[in-house]
Structure 1
Amino acid sequence: MADPDNPIARLRPGGRVNPAPTTRRMGAGGRRRDGDAPEADPRTLVREWHAMTPTERRTAWVELVDWVTWLHDRYELATEHRLPECWPQHPGLIEELSALKAWRHEIYNSIAPSGQAARYWHAELRLVIANATTAYAQPCRAGHKTPRHDALADPNTDLRSRWLSADPLAAVPASLMTAGIEQTRGGDRIPDAVIHDALHRGDARPLGQQVADFVHYDGFWWTPEDSTGMWLQISDPVFAADLDRSADRLAEADQAVAQAQTQRRQDWR
């Protein structure tokens, strides 16, 4: 329970103990009426990474990287590497930075912006940055360096590419990925997050190294359902048998290619 005497606890998302402030919305004649709650802004919703669809997760990840790039440069976080460049490899930092981003959006885009809330946000930012180089990434911290233009994240395309290629689902327990299967799969549908985790753990396999539209998992073949974040089970036994045979042939071809590449490397030495 939030401490009512702690102003930061009252202002943090999920830690409010006071009712939301009175807001206005449009009434007759284009005027707003007092006492009505604002419409929810989907950009401010704090959601779990594993609860997003693949498209939502990719969009959220690009937006987070763009925001962290701005944060890194605006707050001079290159000084002493206060925000380690390897932040995407620390799942806890992904979560804390995501929450900071959502909270700042709530503060600066509210109907009645609060300077006090902004000050509390900056206090929390300093705490997150302190934790970044202690609780999360202490071994990753470099020695003191004077900030330079080439230390900025925005113009560093290689750094941005590394950040974008990181996995926002890293370290999410398999139990969370699979907890909602029975409610969502309907017997023949399964969430993308489950397939993603199974491939990562080696419990599923794609049809071939270059063919990812069919995945074998839990004794069945699955294929992605367009724009829903779900995979459909292949129920046709003839088609499933054809996929089994195709997977065997592709595995043999992949193995032959790998052996040829290994032989070429040995011949070049």
Structure 2
Amino acid sequence: MTTTTDTRTNRSEPTFKPSRFCWDTLDREAAQQLWTELVDWVGWLRIRYELPSEIPGCWYRHSRMVEELTALMTAHRAAYDIANTADGDIEYWAGMAAWHTQYLRPFLAHLNDFGVQGCTTRDCTAQPRDVHTFHDIADWVDRDVQARKPRSATTPATISPARMAELVRESHAEPVDLTDPDSGYRHNDALWLLDAKRKVFVAQIEPVDDSSPDQPN
């Protein structure tokens, strides 16, 4: 791993700061969150793009497929994120088209199967097909999560914007200031602020006031 040296303390600090999509560094809570997001997204991908056999029901058992699909999902999130798109007749964002040409199609080509070999100009073999996922997926995910280290008390928790919106709708979270979108949210007695670069809400470690009015200064 590449490191940089802090000349003031003579300590080497790693320059790599893994994101929440880096499976090798996830703790239990982060892995559970990413598994939930990935399982939902892959299910949508297989149905929307008619890939029930190209992406097999046991995809989660294969570590390479998990990594490939995680990268594909992350690129899709970035391409379709509201922060990266523009509405209107003049300005537009090509990221959505680029996701198909630069990410999805190479991914499918790598699988060597587009699923349309039987189609002709007169006939189309496309028809509704059942999408099967192996019945033990929940147990498989649980074993993966339990095998990981628990979250350190110093590791800040994160919540995706979609999940935060759900918590607000369920009255489990509330905005700090409705007039200030940057003020964050209150959830589980913590302040959550949006990390614009990572595009997740991060729990803030707030200072604890140890002073007591009953004790003399």
Please say whether Structure 1 and Structure 2 have the same fold, judged by a TM-score greater than 0.5: no
TM-score for both structures, normalised by structure 2: 0.45
Name the one with the larger helix percent: 1
TM-score for both structures, normalised by structure 1: 0.37
